[in-house]
Structure 1
Amino acid sequence: MQKFKELFLFGLIGVVGFLVDSGVLYLLKDALGLYVGRGVSFVCAVLATWILNKLITFRKSRSGHSALAEALRYGVCMLSGGAVNYLTYWALVTYYALAQHYPILGVAAGSLTGMIFNYSTARLFVFNQETNLPAPAKSKPDHR
């Protein structure tokens, strides 16, 4: 049941990532184009989802790494899902006029196909040390 809850939360946070990804792409597409703009928007989405997944989805799991190392590990792990994500996007905007005019369709399809890869790598390689967060320690009376 815990894994289902995690996947559900991961999916919800993925929606936030999708909004960040799409929003940044639409802000940058005229200046950088559909391909470079998507690369930048993807990095922004990865950072946003790492922060939210760390705080919400995997809050009871710890990586055992510093925040910087964990963020880098998360980013590297997201590349497998990101590759599937971007290739799906690329195929749609390259071969379908509808996706060329509405690149959000490519972003949506890419996000869905990459999600399962992203969850698996986050669960297995980043947030893999299950810990129950300890309750705050009660101070013991000083009996001197």
Structure 2
Amino acid sequence: MTAPAMTKPVPRQFLTFALIGVGGLFVDMAALAVALHLLGLDPYGGRVFSYLMAATFTWYMNRQYTFAGVSRRGALRQWLRFLAANAVGALVNYAVYVVVLQLGGPVIAWVGLWPAALAALLPYAGVAAGSVSGLVFNFVLSRRLVFRQSR
């Protein structure tokens, strides 16, 4: 039996949140591959698409596991609150992604460690770096604003 969301120890919640975030990272990268290779989007538009897919996945999984004691009613409103609460984290995530795309290749090429054949992997490195950048921020806002216990 799962403990209510706000009675679970914060370190355990954070670990669950982070593990779901790793799953979200894989969803993000897979969705980015779909956006780039099947939908024909550029790396920037593709990233918006992949972020929304990953955010939906992480919202649902956190709703089911990390914050299991929270009401199941109002899913659409809760999903929108999740996107809004994580908007700053999303902007930081996207900004880090853009920096990696813009500077990653040239910097690594300058250092001589980046074979040209691996350039196609740079967007996925950007996704990973962006995801890590918003983890703690998104956890705190999700815990306090999205998945809070009803009073």
- 5+ long unaligned stretches in structure 2: 1-7, 106-113
Larger radius of gyration: 1
- 5+ long unaligned stretches in structure 1: 132-144
C-alpha separation in 1, matches of 2:20 and 2:147: 16
C-alpha separation in 2, matches of 1:42 and 1:8: 21
The runs of 4+ residues in structure 1 deviating greater than 2 Å are 98-101
Do residues 115 (structure 1) and 135 (structure 2) align?
yes
Displacement of 1:66: 1.1
Q: 2:24 aligns with which of 17, 20, 39?
A: 17
1:96 is paired with a residue of what secondary structure?
helix
Moved more, 30-39 or 99-108: 99-108
Displacement of 1:100: 5.1
CA RMSD for the aligned pairs?
A: 1.9
One-letter identity of the residue aligned with 1:10: F
Query: TM-score, length-normalised on structure 1?
Result: 0.83
In 2, are the aligned partners of 1:17 and 1:48 still within 8 Å (CA)?
yes
1:128 is paired with a residue of what secondary structure?
coil
Q: 2:120 aligns with which of 80, 83, 101?
A: 101
C-alpha separation in 1, matches of 2:137 and 2:119: 25
Alignment length (residue pairs): 130
Sequence identity (%): 33
Q: Deviations over 1:37-88 (max 9, x none)?
A: 000000000110111000000002348x611111110111121111111100
- What is the aligned partner in structure 2 of residue 50 from structure 1? 59
Displacement of 1:125: 0.5
Q: Deviations over 1:69-124 (max 9, x none)?
A: 11110111121111111100110101121595311111110000111111011011
C-alpha separation in 2, matches of 1:94 and 1:7: 31
Query: TM-score, length-normalised on structure 2?
Result: 0.79
